[in-house]
C-alpha cells in the first residue's frame, strides 16, 4: 500500500504545471488504440498484418485493430468494436481468427484491460532461441520481472486449445515470450501496456547486440526490481504522450 502511495505521489509531482500546453489533445478511445498501433509499429511490432491489440471498455465490450491492415496504416475510424465473444459489432473490417487468445486472457485476468500480441523484430529472435534476454541497461529494467517463457510451439493461437495453453502459460505474469512465435504483453491500461511492450523490444534488441560482441554484465537483480517497481505500476512519466505526439506530427490522419 505504501509503495502504491509513493508511485501516485511520484506521478503527481511530475504533473504538467498550470498554464502549460496539454501533453496530448483530448483523444477518443479509438484514437488512442490507433496511436498505440502506430507507435508500436515503429518500435518493431511490424510483422506485416500479423498481431492484434484489444482494449476493454467500461461497458464490457472491446476495441481492436482490424485484421486486414498493418499497424502502420491503421486510423481511428478503422478500429472495430467487439462483443464479449470477440465478434465485430461496430466497424467495417474483420477481426483476426486468433481473437480467442485475447478473449481468454480478458476473461481470466480481470486486472488486464489491454492485451498485445505480435511477432516483433527482436522479441521474436529471443522467442525463437527459447531464451530470456538479460537486462543490460536501465531502459531494459523499466519492468521489474522477466517475461514468462512458453517454450512449446504447438501451432497458431487461433486454435482454441493452443491459444488457451498460451494463456495458461502466461498465468498472472505481465508478459511472455512464445517460443518460435512472438510475444504476449498485458496491462491495466494503455500507458502500462505501452511501457511493457516497448521495454520488451528494447531489452531484446540491446541484449542481442551486447551478446553479438561477446557479452557483458547484466544489471544486478535487485537494481532491476527497484527500477521496474518505480516505473511499471503507472508507466514512465510523459513517455506515452511523447511517443503519441511524435506519431501525430508524423501523420495526423491517424486520428481520423
Mean pLDDT computed over 191-204: 98
pLDDT at 137 over 90: yes
Mean pLDDT computed over 139-158: 84
pLDDT in tens, 62-100: 999 999 999 999 999 999 999 999 999 999 999 999 999
- Kindly indicate the confidence band of residue 7, based on its pLDDT and cuts at 50, 70 and 90: very low
Which residue would you say has higher pLDDT here, 132 or 234?
A: 132
As a whole number, the mean pLDDT across the chain is: 91
Q: So what's the pLDDT on residue 2?
A: 33
Mean pLDDT computed over 154-171: 75
Which residue would you say has higher pLDDT here, 154 or 168?
A: 168
- Kindly indicate the confidence band of residue 19, based on its pLDDT and cuts at 50, 70 and 90: low
- Kindly indicate the confidence band of residue 153, based on its pLDDT and cuts at 50, 70 and 90: low
Q: Between the CA of residue 214 and those of 65, 186, 202, 230, what are the distances in Å? A: 40, 32, 19, 31
How many degrees, rounded to 5, is the angle at CA 76 between CA 73 and CA 82? 105
93 and 144 in contact (C-beta within 8 Å)? no
Which residue would you say has higher pLDDT here, 233 or 117?
A: 117
| Rounded percentage of the chain residues whose pLDDT exceeds 90 | 82
pLDDT at 129 over 80: yes
* pTM for the structure as a whole: 0.90
- Kindly indicate the confidence band of residue 235, based on its pLDDT and cuts at 50, 70 and 90: confident
Place of cell 504476449: 184
pLDDT in tens, 31-58: 999 999 999 999 999 999 999 999 999 9
Q: What does the DSSP assignment read for 83-113?
A: -TTS-EEE-SS---TTHHHHHHHHHH-TT--
Q: So what's the pLDDT on residue 38?
A: 98
Domains of the chain, first to last: 26-251 (3.40.225.10)
Torsion sign (Cα): 117, 121, 124, 126:
negative
Q: So what's the pLDDT on residue 58?
A: 96
Cell reading at 3: 509503495
Amino acid at each position: 500500500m505504501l509503495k502504491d502511495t509513493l508511485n501516485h505521489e511520484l506521478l503527481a509531482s511530475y504533473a504538467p504545471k498550470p498554464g502549460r500546453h496539454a501533453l496530448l489533445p483530448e483523444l477518443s478511445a479509438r484514437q488512442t488504440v490507433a496511436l498505440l498501433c502506430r507507435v508500436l509499429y515503429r518500435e518493431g511490432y511490424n510483422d506485416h498484418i500479423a498481431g492484434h491489440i484489444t482494449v476493454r471498455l467500461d461497458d464490457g465490450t472491446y476495441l481492436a485493430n482490424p485484421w486486414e491492415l498493418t499497424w502502420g496504416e491503421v486510423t481511428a475510424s478503422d478500429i472495430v468494436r467487439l462483443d464479449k465473444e470477440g465478434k465485430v459489432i461496430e466497424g467495417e473490417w474483420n477481426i483476426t481468427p486468433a481473437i480467442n487468445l485475447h478473449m481468454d486472457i480478458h476473461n481470466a485476468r480481470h486486472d488486464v484491460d489491454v492485451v498485445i500480441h505480435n511477432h516483433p523484430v527482436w522479441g521474436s529472435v529471443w522467442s525463437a532461441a527459447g531464451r530470456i534476454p538479460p537486462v543490460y541497461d536501465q531502459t531494459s529494467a523499466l519492468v521489474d520481472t522477466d517475461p514468462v517463457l512458453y517454450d512449446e510451439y504447438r501451432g497458431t493461437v487461433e486454435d482454441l486449445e493452443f491459444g488457451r495453453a498460451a494463456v495458461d502459460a502466461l498465468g498472472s505474469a505481465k508478459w511472455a515470450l512464445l517460443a518460435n512465435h512472438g510475444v504476449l504483453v498485458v496491462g491495466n491500461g494503455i500507458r502500462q501496456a505501452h511501457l511493457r511492450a516497448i521495454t520488451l523490444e528494447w531489452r531484446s534488441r540491446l541484449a542481442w547486440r551486447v551478446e553479438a560482441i561477446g557479452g557483458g554484465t547484466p544489471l544486478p537483480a535487485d537494481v532491476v526490481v527497484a527500477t521496474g517497481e518505480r516505473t511499471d505500476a503507472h508507466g514512465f512519466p510523459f513517455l506515452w504522450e511523447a511517443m503519441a505526439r511524435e506519431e501525430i506530427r508524423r501523420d495526423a490522419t491517424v486520428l481520423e
